[in-house]
Each structure stands twice: as C-alpha cells, then as structure tokens.
Amino acid sequence: MSDFFLSPVGLQHWLVVSTALFSIGIYGLLTRRNAVGILMAVELLLNSTSLNFVIFNKFATPSAVDGQIMSIFIIAVAAAEVVVGMAIFVTLFKHRKTVDVTSMNLLKN
Amino acid sequence: MHSEQSFILNNVWLIPAIPFLSFLTLGLLIRNFPKKLQDQLSGIVATLAVFSAAVLAYWLAWEYFHLFPAGVAKQALVPWSFEWLRYQENLAVNVGVLVDPISVLLMVVVTTVSSLVHLYSTGYMHGDPGYARYFTWLNLFTFSMLGLVVSPNILQMYVCWELVGASSFLLIGFYFEKPSAVSASKKAFIVTRFADLGFLLGVILLGYYGYNLFASVAPSLHASGLTNVQPFDFAFLTNPEVMNQFMGMSDTFMGMGVLTLSMVLIFMGAAGKSAMFPLHIWLPDAMEGPTPVSALIHAATMVVAGVYLVARMFPVFAASADALLVVMYVGAFTALFAAVIGCTQDDIKRVLAFSTLSQLGYMMFALGVSSMDHPLGYTASMFHLFTHAFFKALLFLGAGALIHAVHSNSIWDMGGLAKKMPVTHATVLIATLAIAGIYPLAGFFSKDEILVAALESGHTGVFAIGLLVAGITAFYMFRIYFVAFWGKPSHHSEHAHEAPISMLIPLIVLAIFTIGAGFVPMADLVSIGHSAGGHHGINWAVAGPSLFVAAAGISFAWFMYVAGGKQRSAALAGALGGVYTTIKQKFYFDEIYLFITKKIVFRFIATPIAWFDRNVVDGGVNLSGWLTRASGAALNSTQTGQVQTYGAWFVGGAVTVTLVLWIFFL
C-alpha cells in the first residue's frame, strides 16, 4: 500500500483517478433526480473513459496516437449528445413543467 | 410404339387437367365476380370444360382400341408421368397417367355422365344462391375422379380417393343450412374415412413387403421391359413374378397370410367407398345432396371406385383366393340386403340409393366369382359398371326432374305424371326397364353376363341370389315407376310441368346410351388373364330365367300398385307386420351403429380419453401457463418504470459478474 503512495506517478495512479471519476459518474447517474444532473454524470462517465484511452495510449503504445484520437472523438460525440439531451429536456419541461426523472414512470409494469 | 403418332395418347393428362383448371378458374377467379356475372359464367365454364374432357376421352378410347383391337393383348401404357416423391434409390412414387382398358372405360363413363350432369345442373340449380360454389365442387370432383381412374400407382389412387371423398362431403353438405344435410355429409365422410383407414393399412402393408421384394425382383422386371417401375405401381404389384414371391412368404398375421390380409384391408376401403354391407349406411343419407350430385357421385362414378379398385388389383385378389371369397360374399349379401330394403322406402332417391347398393353388390360379386382362368366375371363386372352408370344416372336425373316438378321426394306425392311429363316418363321408363334387365336394354346384357359368370364359376348359391335380386330389382323399380307415373295425382303433382330443355337433353342422351350400351362388345375391349374365347352372345339358359323373374317382379308390382291400389300394398305390409317394419327401418342398422358408437365407443373409450385429455393433458398445459403468469405477477412489482432503478440493477449485476469472475477465475 505504501508503495503506491511512495512510488512516482504511473499507470496505476492514473487508473485510480479514472475509476474514481467513473464511480462518481455512476453514483450521480443513479441518484440524481434532476435530468440535467444526470446528463452531467454521464459527462463524467465519458470523461473517465476518455481518460482511460489517453492513459493506455501513453503507457501501452507511446509511439502511436490512437488513444488520443479516440478521446477527441468521444469529446465530439459527448458534445453532440449534450445538445440532443438538453433539447429533449427543454421539450420535456415545456410539456410537464418538470425534469424530475422520478416522475417519469411510463415504463411502469 | 404407335402412340408416338397419336396426339391424344401422348397427352392423356389433359383429360384430368382440364376439369382441374376449370376448378381453379371457378374457385379462385369467377367466385370473386359479382353474383350475376358469377351465375352467368360458372355454369358455362364448368360444363364446357367437362364436355371438352369428354371429347378427349372418346378420342382416347377410339385411338386406344384401334391400337389394340379385339384379339390383341392390350398393353397398359403410361404415356406421361413424373417423379413426385423419392425416398431412396429403390423407392419413389410417380404421378402419372395409366392407359389401359379399364381406365379408358372409366374415363369415358366419368366424363360422359359428368358432362351430362353438368348440363342438367345448369337447369336444375338455376337461381340457387350457391350456383358458382356448386359448379366449383362438381369440377373438383370430376378432376379427382379422373385422377383416381388414371392412377398408375396405389398412392396416387389413395390421394385421389380421398379427394373424391372430400368433394363428395362438400356436395352432400351443399345445403349446409339444413341440419340433416350437414349430418349426412359428416356421416358419409366419417364412414368412408373409417374404411379408408383399412385401405391405408393395406397399402402400407403391401408397400412394405413390396419394397422388400423390389430389389430382388427389379432386375428381371427391367429386363422384361418394365423400366421405371416403382414399388407402389400397379404394374409391379400385379406382376406375376412379384405375386409368386408374395405367395411364398411365410409371414402371417392373425392366421392370415400377408397377401390375404393386405387385400382384405384394401377391400375394406373399397367396401367403404362402394358402400358395401356393413359400411353401406352412409349412401342412403348421402341423398341429402342435390339430385344431380347423387346421380354423378353417388350412383354413376364415385361409388364404383371401390369396384374399380378391386378390378385394378384383380390379379392380386385372384392370387389370394380367400380375399376374393370375401369380395364375393360381401357383394352378394349387399345385393340382396339392399334390394330388400329398397322395396319398402317411400323417398324416391332412397329407393334409388338402395338400388345402387344392390347393383354395386352385383359388380362386386361378379369380380368375386371370377379368377384368372375364368375371367368372365371381370369383364361382366366392368360391363355392368359401364351400363349401370348410364341407366342409374338417368334414373337419378329423371327423379330430379320429378322432384323439381312436385317439390317432394316422396313417391306418394307424385302420381299421374306420365301425361304431364312425357319426356321424363319415356326416359325413366327406358331406364327402369334397363335396370330390371329387359331385353334389349343395357342392363339385360350386363346382368346376364354376371349371372352366367356366377353360374359357370360353380357358386350356385351366389347365382341364385343374383337371380332373386334381379326379380326384386324389377319389383321395386316398377313400384316407384307405377306409383309416380301411373298412380293417382296428389295435390302436389297437379300443377307439375315438364322440366326445362337443359334438363331434358341429358335425359334423352342418357336414354340413348341406355339403349345402346348393351351392344358394346365388352368382351373384346375389357378382359384379363387367359380369356380363351370370351363370352359372346346371349346364354339363353340364364337369360330365360332372368327375364322370367324380371317379368314376375314387374307383374307383382303391377298387381300390388296398379291393380290393387293402395289398399292391397297396405294389407300386405300389415300381414308382414314386424318383418315389414324391420325392413322399412333398414334392419335398424343406423340404430345399431348409433348404439355401438354412442353407448360403447363414446362411453367406454371416448369419454375416458376425453377426461384424460381435459384433465391430464390440458392440465399440464394449463399448469405451465399458470406458472408463467404467477411468476409474472410476482415479478411485476419490480418493474417500477424508474430508469435509474433499472440502471442500479444493471450496475449491480455487472459488479457481481466482475466479482465472480475475479474470485473464481483469477
């Protein structure tokens, strides 16, 4: 355990950051009642994934840039996704005067 | 081979195909048209189709019997066939067309009677709401019957056999809003289906042993010119070498040889279709169908399919003497039994139905008394089939004209119709004389030949029955003739008028056939085995007594119903008492069947099976359904509609799987 804290920053440290980010995202995804909050949690998940790509690119194949390119893709897709998601929420709000996801139970039974 | 030059011999398939195409056109196309157009087209299309098939059949008969004139051994040709099913190298079933004397004969009979019945029906069924449907089924029947007749193998015959049964069912139940017609059609279907079970078992048994023989026999068959022969083909089954092998088999079942057993089973199918005792009960009820249908299906063509089957398989029946004896006794008994019942019935169609049974009995026992060495009965049977088709169809169509005129089936509602319906009267009189066996009408020659065959075979008892039945036939036929045409007019028959021309033409044509058919030199056309000098001319030692009993029957009918009026026949019925009632109730056979089916089969077999089905089988099915529903209800509450809850389950599941993998596999 102490090795981890004493050693210089390496793969494992970065993965811990990424995993922490992912876990926070999952927590937010499952607990937030506000749809915008959920969207933000999803952003955290995407960022953690993006980060993983960069980390593995650096430590596994430093000479290539595949991971970086992938993460740029993810950023672009995430931006698009936010736009669509927000548009949906705006429409939803216009209809139901709320974006509280617990009140949306049309899938029930 | 001469047939290469002949168009019709190479294209025999057209004869069944034309009615089939017409059936499809009517059923799929014309019946979608507006009602008025339907009625205008369907009769014409159907009638023309069958008439053209009839023309081709006559052409074929002309060509065939010129190719093989009298005295020349007649080959069985298969000018057209294709492979339908192939199971193994040595087991295939073809669909094809067989041309031999009896199939040509039957094609002529079927197309002739069918086309005349079609023509008659355009008048008889005029204005009926089911006009187009009627002709559709009638064409289906004609196709199936022709397909049956030309079958080169027993499986094709079985398929067509069921098809004629199905079209008979559809036509008996044509007036399906009438409960009696519905139950009659069901009765006919179930009784014949039951008999067909025997047929199928016979076919399977014969096919199984035939297939086992096939590999060893096939090379020599191929060498003798029978290439492309298959185990189910008649050419294979009736081949002498194959039958010798069959006879040599030591396998027995319940004390019967394989050959005898399979032939008895096949005869069971034939007896069902030809309404032989004790499977005769469906035919009288089948008269619920329209009268032209009775004429075509239940008198002239379909019911002779059983006789045809026995004739087709005759060499095999002949090889098994026991099976042939069964055919003979069943035929002779049916002839007598049905004739006796026929004397007491009041419904004109039922009398004719029982007379059909009786005449079919004649054909059967004629086959039963013949053998490969004395094949006169075979020829006689086919001859009687040929003549009977014409005069019985004529009788039915005449009866239809009477029913059309008086709107009742009972002979007592008719009466005094001789003057009002002169054409019907004349033609029905010809047919009645023919069936009574009066010289020189068709029935005389064929019945005479059957009696000669019975006498020469040495079965004197059967000959005596045949002679007796000839007298009874003359009696009951003249009974309905005298009552309907000479009797006192009833209020029903006062306003009777002659039938329309479309109904009279078939009557007249059939009357001409009835007069002429007896002069066909059948012995030159149809024969089998070692026919060294077939029977030619009239054997007066037999014809004399047969004419005498016919005259006696006619005089007795005259004595009872013309000279004596109603009182004398009522007095005789009263004197006979219980015997008369028993006969009138058809020996209570319907009741016996009902007792057996209801009180025994239903109660002790069907009811327990139904209980088992309802409680055990259905219970199992219901249990699985109930389990699914109960588990669904239990798990229902987990479906909250909250996507986040689902997400939590999903994440939890993913984490669990990861942990499991980590703990157990890392």
Q: What is the pLDDT of residues B222-281, one digit of tens each?
A: 777 777 788 888 888 888 788 777 777 767 666 677 888 888 899 999 999 988 888 888
Q: What is the pLDDT of residues B598-632, one digit of tens each?
A: 888 888 888 899 999 999 999 999 999 999 999 99
Q: How many CA atoms lie within 13 A of B477 on its CB side?
A: 34
Question: Which residues, at least 6 apart from B311, have a Cβ–Cβ distance to it below 8 Å?
Answer: B102, B367, B378, B381, B382
DSSP B99: E
ipTM of the complex: 0.84
- Start-to-end CA distance of chain A, whole Å, equals 48
Where are chain A's structural domains? 2-98
Q: What mean pLDDT comes out for the span A37-49?
A: 93
H/E element holding B80? strand B77-88
Stronger pLDDT, B625 or B560, i.e. the higher one:
B625
Gap between the Cα atoms of B332 and B321, Å rounded: 16
What pLDDT is stored for residue A88 in this prediction? 92
Residues of chain A with C-beta less than 8 angstroms from the C-beta of B649:
none
Nearest CA distance, A64 vs chain B (angstrom): 30
Confidence at B20, pLDDT banded by 50, 70, 90: very high
Among candidate residues B108, B142, B381, B383, the one with its CA nearest the CA of residue B270: B381
Of A30, A31, A106, the CB nearest to B641: A106
In this predicted structure, the answer to whether residue B532 has a pLDDT above a threshold of 50 is no
What pLDDT is stored for residue B618 in this prediction? 92
Q: What mean pLDDT comes out for the span A21-49?
A: 93
Helix (H, G, I), strand (E, B) or coil at B534: coil
SS3 of chain B: helix, strand, coil, percent, to 5: 75, 5, 20
B468 within 8 A of B336, measured Cβ to Cβ: yes
> Measured at the alpha carbon of residue A46, what is the angle toward residues A45 and A48, in degrees to the nearest 5?
65
What pLDDT is stored for residue B5 in this prediction? 62
Among candidate residues B236, B258, B225, B53, the one with its CA nearest the CA of residue B138: B53
What pLDDT is stored for residue B211 in this prediction? 83
What pLDDT is stored for residue B535 in this prediction? 52
Q: What is the pLDDT of residues B385-442, one digit of tens each?
A: 999 999 999 999 999 888 888 888 888 888 778 888 888 889 999 999 999 888 888 8
What pLDDT is stored for residue B2 in this prediction? 47
Q: What is the pLDDT of residues B121-140, one digit of tens each?
A: 988 888 888 888 999 999 99
Confidence at B7, pLDDT banded by 50, 70, 90: confident
- Start-to-end CA distance of chain B, whole Å, equals 85
Tokens linked to A49:
């994934």
In this predicted structure, the answer to whether residue B175 has a pLDDT above a threshold of 80 is yes
Q: How many CA atoms lie within 13 A of B275 on its CB side?
A: 29
Q: What mean pLDDT comes out for the span B18-30?
A: 91
Gap between the Cα atoms of B12 and B50, Å rounded: 14
Gap between the Cα atoms of B37 and B20, Å rounded: 21
What pLDDT is stored for residue B219 in this prediction? 79
Of A26, A30, A108, the CB nearest to B641: A108
What pLDDT is stored for residue B254 in this prediction? 64
What pLDDT is stored for residue A73 in this prediction? 94
Tokens linked to A26:
């999952």
What pLDDT is stored for residue B245 in this prediction? 78
CATH 1.10.287.3510 fits A2-98, yes or no: yes
Question: What does the mean pLDDT of chain B come to?
Answer: 86
Is B632 an 8 Å CB contact of chain A? no
Tokens linked to B420:
């009002």
> Measured at the alpha carbon of residue A36, what is the angle toward residues A32 and A37, in degrees to the nearest 5?
35
Question: Angle of helix A66-96 relative to helix A35-60, nearest 10 degrees?
Answer: 180
Poorest-pLDDT segment among B85-99, B173-187, B210-224, B638-652: B210-224
In this predicted structure, the answer to whether residue B533 has a pLDDT above a threshold of 60 is no
What pLDDT is stored for residue B71 in this prediction? 74
Instruction: State pTM to two decimals.
Output: 0.78
Tokens linked to B663:
């703990």
DSSP B305: H
Question: What does the mean pLDDT of chain A come to?
Answer: 90
Q: What is the pLDDT of residues B292-344, one digit of tens each?
A: 998 888 888 889 999 999 999 888 888 888 888 889 999 999 999 999 898 88
Among candidate residues B108, B185, B191, B145, the one with its CA nearest the CA of residue B20: B145
Stronger pLDDT, B39 or B19, i.e. the higher one:
B19
B472 within 8 A of B340, measured Cβ to Cβ: yes
Q: What mean pLDDT comes out for the span B150-176?
A: 91
Residues of chain B with C-beta less than 8 angstroms from the C-beta of A102:
642, 644
Task: Count other C-beta atoms under 10 Å from residue B535's C-beta.
Answer: 21
What pLDDT is stored for residue B531 in this prediction? 55
The answer to whether the CB atoms of A26 and B651 lie below 8 A apart is yes
Chain B interface mutation, best of A22, A27, A29, A30, highest count of B Cβ atoms under 10 Å: A30
Is B37 an 8 Å CB contact of chain A? no
Is B648 an 8 Å CB contact of chain A? yes
Gap between the Cα atoms of A31 and B648, Å rounded: 9
Q: What is the pLDDT of residues A51-80, one digit of tens each?
A: 999 999 999 888 989 999 999 999 999 999
The answer to whether the CB atoms of B642 and A29 lie below 8 A apart is no
Q: What is the pLDDT of residues B45-73, one digit of tens each?
A: 999 999 999 999 999 998 888 888 877 77
Does B422 sit behind a cis peptide bond, omega within 30 degrees of 0 on the bond before it? no
Gap between the Cα atoms of B146 and B137, Å rounded: 14
Nearest CA distance, A107 vs chain B (angstrom): 4
Residues of chain B with C-beta less than 8 angstroms from the C-beta of A30:
644, 647-648, 651
B577 within 8 A of B473, measured Cβ to Cβ: no
What pLDDT is stored for residue B4 in this prediction? 54
